[in-house]
């Protein structure tokens, strides 16, 4: 079964109806059908909450989190190994620290990273990326 690690920006494409929303919606449907597995670091989940709170309001942010809890996405706690790898990615590639958690989850779980964030282009040779844009 194929695995995908979602960056915050991947879900933002759906919730803000950005270009690439169809790609992410297709993955969500495939996960609902049991054809693929979707993962998201709790760190990136927190980034989504913060982003929705900041751009919308607290009520919308809570509603989005409630909706996400119903989606076929496995939320993965950040452990020491993932945090170590995230910090190494930060040091080597100068990505935003929170983005390093999405990348480290993808690397650890042998998953394709799903993102619309062009910052990840520095990792093209390190892990597979599905661009949601």
Domain positions in the chain: 2-131
Q: Where are the alpha helices (DSSP H) in 4-96?
A: 8-15, 21-32, 42-55, 58-69, 80-93
What is the reported pLDDT for 21?
Answer: 95
Assigned CATH for 2-131: 3.40.50.1010
Whether the CB-CB separation of 40 and 6 falls below 8 Å is answered with yes
Average pLDDT on 28-50 reads 97
Q: What is the pLDDT of residue 42?
A: 97
pLDDT value of position 133: 86
Q: Angle at Cα 46 formed by Cα 38 and Cα 94, nearest 5°?
A: 85
Tokens of 25: 């919606």
Sheet holding 73-76, edge to edge: 73-76, 36-41, 2-6, 112-115, 129-131
Mean confidence (pLDDT) of the chain? 96
Query: How confident is the model over 78-104, as pLDDT tens digits?
Result: 999 999 999 999 999 999 999 999 999
Decide: helix, strand or coil at residue 34. Answer: coil
Model confidence at 54: pLDDT above 90: yes
């Amino acid at each position: 079964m194929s695995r995908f690690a979602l960056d915050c920006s991947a879900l933002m494409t759906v919730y803000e109806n950005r270009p690439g929303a169809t790609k992410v919606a297709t993955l969500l449907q495939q996960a609902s059908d049991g054809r693929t597995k979707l993962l998201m670091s709790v760190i990136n989940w927190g980034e989504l909450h913060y982003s929705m709170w900041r751009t919308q309001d607290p009520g919308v942010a809570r509603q989005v989190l409630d909706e996400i809890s119903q989606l076929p996405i496995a939320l993965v706690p950040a452990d020491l190994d993932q945090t170590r790898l995230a910090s190494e990615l930060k040091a080597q590639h100068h990505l935003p620290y929170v983005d390093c958690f999405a990348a480290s989850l993808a690397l650890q779980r042998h998953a394709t990273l799903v993102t619309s964030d062009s910052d990840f282009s520095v990792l093209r040779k390190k892990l597979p990326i599905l661009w949601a844009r």
